[in-house]
Amino acid sequence: MANDVMDFGIRLTGGQLMRLAAQHFVQNLYVAALGRPADKEGLTYWTDHIIKENGSASEVAKSFLTGSEFMSQDLDDEDFVETLYMVYYNRIGTYDEVNTWESALAAGTPREDLITAFASSSEWANECLAYGINV
Tens-place pLDDT, residues 87-118? 999 999 999 999 999 999 999 999 999 999 99
Question: What pLDDT, on a 0 to 100 scale, did the predictor assign at position 133?
Answer: 94
- For residue 131, give the amino acid letter: Y
Contact predicate 30/40, CB 8 Å: no
Mean pLDDT in residue range 60-69: 97
Distance CA 103, CA 65 (A): 20
| 1.10.10.1150, 1.10.3130.20, 3.40.50.720, 3.40.50.2000: CATH of 14-131 | 1.10.3130.20
**Ranges of each domain in the chain:** 14-131
Contact predicate 77/24, CB 8 Å: no
Q: What pTM was computed for the model?
A: 0.88
**Main-chain phi, psi angles of 37, to 5 degrees:** -70, 160
Q: Which of 105, 48, 115 is closest to 77 using CA atoms?
A: 105
